[in-house]
Amino acid sequence: MSEGSRVRLDRWLWAARFFKTRALAAAAIGGGKVAVGGARAKRAKLLAVGDRLRIRRGPFEYSVVVRALSEHRGPPAAAAALYVEDAEGKRLREHLAEQLRVAPSLRYEGKGRPTKRERREIEKLRGE
């Protein structure tokens, strides 16, 4: 695209591969997960080169500066060339990912109903 052109925010987020579909990008923007220049934006907001974006996806937050514009989704290498990420934000996100990876899982590890043998052991423990 030419230097003077502008692209819709939802379309750019999809082209830069932050979201898998434009509908997901629009939902994130509508939910306040994306800020342009520190302010909440609408999905039709026109982006220009040099705009600062803050994108929250799950527990992670990306702080990027728009380096190029595109309305078409391309390969990941081309998508990565559309923006430059703050080094501090990247370091914090990687640190959080490491903490989440090391944290113990809080989900139920049982396999459903107890077997007859397990039921007998439970009854023995209860004193029945």
Q: Say if 127 falls within a structural domain.
A: no
Q: Say if 99 falls within a structural domain.
A: no
- The 3-state DSSP class for residue 118 equals helix
Q: Say if 3 falls within a structural domain.
A: yes
- β partners of residue 35: 40, 54
Q: What is the pLDDT of residue 11?
A: 95
Residue 33 belongs to a domain with what CATH number? 3.10.290.10
Secondary structure in 3-state letters for 42-104: CCCCEECCCCEEEEEECCEEEEEEECCCCCCCCCHHHHHCCEEECHHHHHHHHHHHHHHHHCC
Mean pLDDT by 10 residues, the chain (128 residues): 75 95 95 94 93 93 94 93 93 91 72 86 86
Which among 77, 69, 59 has a CA at the least distance from the CA of 13?
69
Q: What is the pLDDT of residue 2?
A: 46
Q: Say if 28 falls within a structural domain.
A: yes
Q: Say if 23 falls within a structural domain.
A: yes
Q: What total of structural domains would you count in the chain?
A: 1
* Predicted structure pTM score: 0.76
Q: Say if 123 falls within a structural domain.
A: no
Domain containing residue 7: 1-90
Q: Do 53 and 16 form a contact (C-beta atoms < 8 A)?
A: no
Q: Say if 107 falls within a structural domain.
A: no
Angle made by CA atoms 91, 97, 98, in degrees to the nearest 5: 90
Q: Say if 55 falls within a structural domain.
A: yes
